Amino acid sequence: MDENIYSLLLKSATGLTLLGTLRYSIDFTTALDASADRQQQAATIGGVVYPARGSITIPFLTGLQPVPLSGFAIYVQMGQPLLNWFYSEDAARGLTVQFNPIGFERIAGGLLSQLPNSNVVEYAFLGRRIALPA
């Protein structure tokens, strides 16, 4: 499983701008089970759902420690994923992250943050792949 790493620029509706890092990998060895209806629909459109794991770090929102994420990626036929969806494994730092690729180097999506004793805050974000030295 190759790890994808993106630097993120997040912005809330009130104009708050934050920086972060998203790391994730997709397990292509096992497709997720789906109900019979979803299996039929996936077969019709040629889609497959794969499990994914990762972490996100947004220092001014979640602290310095990465928030562990679990989720899935939906692929349709060949090419890039149609959708990536992650949720936090840490109950104290509740996050939901959804994004789509824009080309091979960029992503765009949204993040919902539900921290203890606070309201849900929505962020839109853009991400750019970080290339690691070979």
d(CA 99, CA 79): 16
Q: Above 80 in pLDDT, residue 39?
A: no
Average pLDDT over residues 59-73: 93
Residue 10 has pLDDT above 80, yes or no: yes
pLDDT at residue number 36? 46
Q: Are 17 and 8 in contact (CB under 8 A)?
A: no
CA atoms of 53 and 32, how far apart (whole Å): 13
pLDDT at 108 over 90: yes
Contact, 97 vs 123, CB < 8 A?
A: no
Residue 81 has pLDDT above 80, yes or no: no
Question: Considering the chain, what percentage of its residues have pLDDT values greater than 70?
Answer: 85
Kindly report the average pLDDT of the chain as a whole number: 86
Q: How confident is the model at residue 42 (pLDDT cuts 50, 70, 90)?
A: very low
Q: What pTM did the predictor assign?
A: 0.85
Residues 6+ apart with CB under 8 A from 105: 128, 129
How far apart CA 122 and CA 104 sit, in angstroms, is 25
